[in-house]
Structure 1
Amino acid sequence: MTFRPNYPRVWLTFFRNSVLRELSYRGNFVIELITRMFWFVAQLVLFDIIYRHVPTIQDWTREEYFGFMATGMLINGFVEALFMPNCANFSELIRTGNLDFALLKPIDTQFLVSAERINLAMFNQVLFALALLTYSLVSTGAEITPARVITYSLLIVVGVMFFYALMIALASTSIWFGRNQGLYDFWFYITSFARYPQGIYRQSAVGEVLWFGFSFIIPVLLVVTVPSRVILAKVLEPSWQVVFLAPALTLLTLVASRRIFQWSLRNYRSASS
Structure 2
Amino acid sequence: MTDDSPQPPQTFRPNYLAVWGMFFRNSLIREMTFRSNFVIELVTRAFWFSAQLVLFDLIYRHVPTIQDWSREEYFAFMATGMLINALVEAFFMPNCANFSELIRTGDLDFALLKPIDTQFLISFEKVNFAMINQVLLALALLWYSISKTGIELSIGRVVTYLLLILVGVAFFYSLMIALASTSVWFGRNQGLYDFWFYITIFARYPQGFYKQSFGGEMLWFGFSFIIPILLVVTVPSRFLLRKALDPNWTVLVIAPISTLVMVLISRKIFQWSLSNYRSASS
Normalising by the smaller structure, the TM-score range is over 0.9
Of 27, 37, 43 in structure 1, the residue corresponding to residue 36 of structure 2 is 27
Q: How far is 1:143 from its partner?
A: 1.5
* Partner-residue secondary structure (3-state), 1:5: coil
Secondary structure at 1:257 match in 2: helix
Q: Which letter maps to 2:239?
A: V
CA distance in 2, matches of 1:223, 1:143: 23
User: Shift of residue 233 of structure 1?
Assistant: 1.0
Question: Which whole-Å deviations, capped at 9, do the CAs of 1:79-101 have from their partners, x for residues lacking one?
Answer: 00000000000000001100000
Matched with 1:261 is: 270
Cα deviation, 1:35-59, whole Å, max 9, x if unaligned, reads 0000000000000011111111110
Counterpart among 60, 65, 74 of residue 83 in structure 2:
74
Candidates 122, 140, 154, aligned match of 2:149: 140
- The alignment's C-alpha RMSD in Å is 0.4
Count how many residue pairs are aligned between Structure 1 and Structure 2: 273
Gapped runs of 5+ residues in structure 2? 1-9
1:11 matches 2:20: yes
Q: Using the alignment, how far apart are the partners of 2:162 and 2:253 within structure 1?
A: 14
2:229 is matched by which residue type in structure 1? V
1:94 aligns with 2:103: yes
Contact 1:143–1:233, Cα closer than 8 Å, also in 2: no
Equivalent AA in structure 2 for residue 34 of structure 1: V
8 Å contact kept, 1:85–1:118: yes
Q: Paired residue for 2:236, among 202, 227, 235? A: 227
Supply the distance in 1 between the matched residues of 2:268 and 2:85 (Cα, whole angstroms). Answer: 24
Q: Deviations over 1:62-91 (max 9, x none)?
A: 000000000000000100000000000000
Paired with 2:32 and 2:145, the residues of 1 have a C-alpha distance of 34
Q: TM-score, normalised on structure 2? A: 0.96
- Counterparts of 1:137 and 1:56 in 2: how far apart (Å)? 16
Residue 51 (structure 1) aligns with: 60
Percent of pairs identical after alignment?
A: 75
Kindly indicate whether the alpha-carbon contact (under 8 Å) linking 1:78 and 1:160 is maintained by their aligned counterparts in 2: yes
1:240 to 245, 249, 261: 249
Q: Radius of gyration: which is bigger?
A: 2
Q: Find the partner of 1:39 among 30, 35, 48.
A: 48
